[in-house]
């Protein structure tokens, strides 16, 4: 087996409290042979020193390679025990074709996700962060309407939504101490907020779509909101487990004292896909006061195949 060339011009910059950028150059011929990158960051050579090991998986990408690493403040071991040293896991077996999870497989994932969902917190808005240029394009070229786009390949390799379902990603997680959306975001400094009842109400069906992590201690749950009878609803009804909107572990809509009340799971990061176009006039657009934490982006993120919390045997 011919060895890969030694990386050159290695640089680490854009260092913040939770992220960094590392780049390097490789011989052009080697780029076609690379399937995984392993990054081992050690504070010292001493085995007893505080150690962080982070694995980043990527497909072939052009030189210079840009990989965004992530060191969550609450997970400096890169997963597993907070004070432990999990090390770099063995390379996973080849991924099976995408979209091969049947409903019973997703039901297994759902059960695993329910175990760590935690208590439910109230919220009132769904929100979507993007760059300023995205919203300018929506206003100037899309009639002020955000259009559904094809879901990327992030998450579980068997997810039937990847590359198949059209939708718009929203978030709804709040900070437990304020009850408000966080002021940081991986996706851009401009945030569109829309009242929860505009997207989620008794005329909406809710589906469980995925449960995954990215070599970190926290986990993501992907849910789909689809108006009853819509094309997105018909797609999900055949492929995804449907949830009771008033009684589930992730996202609920209940009538209390004559009003709709919304709650989300505290201990999971929810990624909510809404299957229909959304007019910007239905909500409010503004700029967040926090940082754009690009290292936390899940765009095309690959699932950790070694995590016992969010993987199933198929």
Residue 69 predicted with pLDDT over 70: no
CA distance 137 to 178: 32
> Do 307 and 93 contact (CB within 8 A), yes or no?
no
* Chain segment 130-143, per-residue pLDDT in tens: 999 999 999 999 99
- Percent of residues, the chain, with pLDDT higher than 90: 50
Residue 282, SS3?
Answer: helix
Quickly state the pLDDT bin for 77 (edges 50, 70, 90): very low
What is the pLDDT averaged over residues 127-156? 93
Predicted structure pTM score: 0.68
Nearest to 224 by CA among 250, 259, 263: 250
Token pair 């709804």 in the structure block, residue: 172
Q: Which of 37-41, 85-89, 245-249, 308-312 has the lowest mean pLDDT?
A: 85-89
CATH number for 1-91 (one of 1.10.10, 2.60.40, 1.10.150, 1.10.3470): it is: 2.60.40
Residue 52, SS3?
Answer: strand
Q: Which of 25-29, 77-81, 294-298 has the lowest mean pLDDT?
A: 77-81
What is the pLDDT averaged over residues 140-157? 93
Residue 151 predicted with pLDDT over 60: yes
Contacts (Cβ under 8 Å, ≥6 apart) of 123: 172, 173, 174, 179, 196, 262, 263, 264
Beta-strand (E) ranges in 133-217? 145-146, 149-150, 166-170, 190-195, 204-212
Domain boundaries, the chain: 1-91, 103-296
Residue 105 predicted with pLDDT over 80: yes
Buried b (16+ CB within 10 A) or exposed e, 149-186: eebebbbbbbbbbbeebbbbbbbbbbeeeeeebeeebb
CA distance 302 to 109: 16
Beta-strand (E) ranges in 43-165? 51-56, 65-70, 120-123, 125-130, 145-146, 149-150
Q: Which of the pair, 90 or 233, is modelled with greater confidence? A: 233
pLDDT reported for residue 288 = 86
């Amino acid at each position: 087996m011919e060895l890969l060339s030694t990386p050159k011009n290695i640089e680490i910059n854009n260092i913040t409290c939770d992220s960094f950028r590392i780049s390097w150059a490789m011989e052009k011929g080697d780029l076609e042979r690379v399937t995984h990158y392993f990054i081992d960051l050690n504070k010292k050579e001493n085995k007893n020193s505080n150690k962080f090991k982070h694995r980043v998986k990527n497909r072939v990408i052009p030189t210079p390679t840009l990989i965004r690493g992530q060191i969550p403040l609450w997970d400096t071991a890169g997963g597993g025990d907070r004070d432990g040293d999990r090390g770099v896991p063995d390379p996973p077996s080849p991924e099976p074709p995408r979209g091969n999870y049947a409903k019973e497989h997703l039901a297994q994932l759902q059960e695993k996700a329910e175990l760590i969902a935690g208590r439910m917190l109230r919220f009132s808005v769904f929100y979507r962060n993007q760059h300023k240029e995205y919203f300018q394009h929506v206003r100037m070229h899309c009639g002020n309407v955000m259009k559904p786009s094809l879901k990327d390949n992030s998450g579980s390799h068997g997810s039937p939504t990847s590359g198949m379902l059209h939708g718009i990603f929203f978030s709804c997680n709040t900070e437990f101490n304020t009850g408000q959306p966080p002021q940081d975001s991986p996706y851009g400094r401009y945030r569109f907020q829309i009242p929860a009842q505009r997207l989620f109400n008794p005329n909406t069906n809710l589906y469980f779509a995925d449960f995954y992590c990215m070599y970190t201690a926290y986990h993501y749950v992907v849910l789909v909101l689809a108006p009853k009878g819509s094309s997105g609803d018909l797609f999900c009804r055949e492929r995804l487990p449907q949830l009771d909107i008033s009684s589930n572990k992730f996202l609920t809509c209940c009538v209390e004292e004559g009003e709709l009340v919304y709650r989300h799971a505290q201990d999971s990061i929810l990624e909510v896909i809404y299957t229909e176009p959304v007019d910007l006039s239905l909500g409010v657009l503004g700029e967040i006061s926090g940082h754009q934490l690009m290292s936390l982006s899940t765009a095309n993120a690959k699932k950790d195949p070694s995590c016992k919390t969010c993987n199933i045997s198929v």
